[in-house]
Amino acid sequence: MNCCRLFRKKEDNGWNEKEDQPQVKEIGAWMESRETELDESDPVVLRYRSPHFFAKAKVIVPRTRSGHAWTVGWLQVCTHMLLNHIYGKHGRASWELPNLTHGPVSDSDGRTMPWYGSSDEVITVRGASSSQEVEVSMDDNFCPSVSWAAPRPPPASPGGPSLKAVLRDQVFITWLAAHHIPSHRVIALAQVDWHACLRISVNPRAPLGHRASLLPPRRLSPPSVSIPPRMCSIPPSALQLPVANDAQVLMWYPRGGQPVMVIPPKS
């Protein structure tokens, strides 16, 4: 199988191009078979829980010399993000990733860069005298809270619920990757592309518990898996800070006024 390298260092650091590289034995990716759940139990915010995206793979890791190791796991980036909360005549709130103007943004948990997570999502095999089969898995979904009231309503506004719609459109690339130690080279073994498109209509005048309704498409589209990866070159930003959760900002765009940053980036 053809594997794709992320980058090349001047020093070899023990890398042997002729050595066996990890091979994908099995891989699967799928969406949870359900619709997005809407929760109106809180008088302050609307909550919704999207279906989970799941990915699982079995990888054969070759034997390695003493002092060498392979880390196998999942890398994920966001390549497109539109997340608008529409507040009728007041304006709209928008969660944005300014860093997307420079390329994809890492979706790592931030604690185990560059990997998506630190539990079932990644594993390291050190100095193995024979090949080993390892399994890594991951899942992702959205569980946000959206204010019923506009974050910055006009001074003369009577206040109260004014949320009219929630529009979410995000695109992600998830790589099954292998990191060689001590050369610090990363190879992409497989690629998963997936898209989250959610639309919620809200009637702010309706009683709590009867305001929100899910619009088509009511289910998320299935992910696609590519072996070898569709993109042979993993962007450097997939390995670097900032991560999406720390880089996002909440902007307020009032009708007839200037945009205001309501929540700045954490980093």
**Per-residue pLDDT tens for 136-191?**
999 999 999 999 999 887 666 667 899 999 999 999 999 999 999 988 899 999 99
Mean pLDDT over 59-70 rounds to 91
C-alpha 48/C-alpha 76 separation (Å) is 22
Q: Looking at residue 127, what is its pLDDT? A: 80
**Per-residue pLDDT tens for 116-125?**
999 999 999 9
Which phi and psi (to 5°) does residue 240 adopt?
A: -125, 155
Q: Looking at residue 12, what is its pLDDT? A: 45
Q: Where are the alpha helices (DSSP H) in the chain?
A: 244-247
Measured at the alpha carbon of residue 203, what is the angle toward residues 199 and 209, in degrees to the nearest 5?
A: 95
Locus of tokens 């205001």:
260
C-alpha 65/C-alpha 104 separation (Å) is 35
**Per-residue pLDDT tens for 5-50?**
343 333 344 445 445 799 999 999 999 999 999 999 999 999 999 9
Q: Where are the alpha helices (DSSP H) in 84-214?
A: none
